[in-house]
Homo-oligomer: A and B are copies of this chain.
Amino acid sequence: MASGKLQSKEIRLVSRPQGEPALENFALATVELPDLEPGQVLVRNAFFSIDPYMRGRMNEGQSYVPPFALGKVLDGAAVGQVVQSRDAAFPVSAWVQSLCGWRDYFVAPGQQLRLIDATQAPPSAYLGVLGSTGLTAWVGLREIARIRENETIFISGGAGAVGSVACQLARQSGCRVISSAGSSSKVAFLKNQLQVDHAFNYREADPVEELRKAASEGLHVYFDNTAGPQLEAALASMRNRGRLVMCGAISGYNKPVQGPRNLALTIVRRLRIEGFIVVDHLHRMAEFLAEAIPAVRAGKLLHQETAVQGIENAPQAFISMLRSGDAHIGKLVIRL
């Protein structure tokens, strides 16, 4: 601190997980922050996002985003407040969203930040229901599935970040919503908080049986957050011309999964299976927020989050999330 420079803690990826990530894949480091250049802003993060897709970036090899580099800080969505600024568009105290997660403070050009309106909703909501998470659910239902009123939809992983928004948006669009989760408290959340029409614990119940019971006339839409046996069960339950939205595949992030053995149903039932990535749809964010902010303010769209305190607990929170255990419901964020 002799130089008087500000220090920041950050989480680095120090080795690539084989299968399930372990704490030793991560390290907490302290770095000195540089002085601001013209156009730059110093931000103190208040929350950063922990997302399943980050597991893919921990592997080697190109995907739709580059892999995390070994020995470097991880990144991802974060919200925080401007502490110092050399960009007039980002005054001190302004709330901003960035892709500079997994650290306390950072310096970045203002043009890489987006102002958020913390008077409309709690700042962390911009990582969840009012962020890419919410947009993912909205795009998946509207653009990919093209849901219509009175359709029956099955949303796996309904207590997760995207799933919990998708359940609500589908219900508000007049769909019958069936959803699944991996613990009884999550199933209770689906039933009581999200008020889905039918919810089940996929670890205890047979998804094929549950869908037969809850959707005796079949599914118009399946919104996949899990892949694995739930995808196979959904395929078996699709109506003719059903649509399957491939949004996430969390069951296969740590270990290889078997593919659905009944994929040939795609032919006889004329199914459409379509994958998407929210980064292709970020230009729809303003349109989405114009709908979602009033809904959140009116209490019609629940921002469900689990906030874990302290940057040092981020690796364990990430590991637990991939186990789909009981600890986290809704969006998982680290509070700093």
Contacts and interface: CB of A to CB of B under 8 A. Distances in A.
A266 B274 contact: yes
B274 A272 contact: yes
Q: Does more than half of chain A's interface fall in helix, strand or loop, or is it mixed? A: loop
Nearest to A265: B275
A53 to B, nearest CB: 9
B280 A270 contact: yes
A275 B269 contact: yes
Q: Chain A interface: which size bin?
A: 35 or more
Interface stretch (A36-44, A171-179, A256-264, A284-292): A256-264
Contacts of A269: 64, 275
Contact of A273 (B63, B247, B272): B272
A262 B257 CA distance: 8
A2 interface: no
Given A258-B258, A258-B261, A262-B259, A271 B275 contact: yes
Nearest to A243: B274
A136 B274 CA distance: 22
A275 B246 CA distance: 16
Contact of A267 (B262, B263, B276): B276
A1 interface: no
A63 B268 contact: yes
Contacts of A272: 272-275
A232 interface: yes
A51 to B, nearest CB: 13
A273 B270 contact: no
A110 interface: no
A264 B268 CA distance: 22
A56 interface: yes
A141 interface: no
A286 B125 CA distance: 56
Interface in A220-268: 227, 231-232, 240, 246-249, 252, 256-268
A248 B268 CA distance: 9
Interface string A284-319: 000000000000000000000000000000000000
A277 interface: yes
A264 B252 contact: yes
Contact of A260 (B64, B249, B262, B263): B263
Nearest to A259: B259
A248 B267 contact: yes
A54 to B, nearest CB: 13
Contacts of A246: 263-264, 266-267
A259 B261 contact: yes
Given A270-B280, A275-B268, A277-B270, A263 B63 contact: no
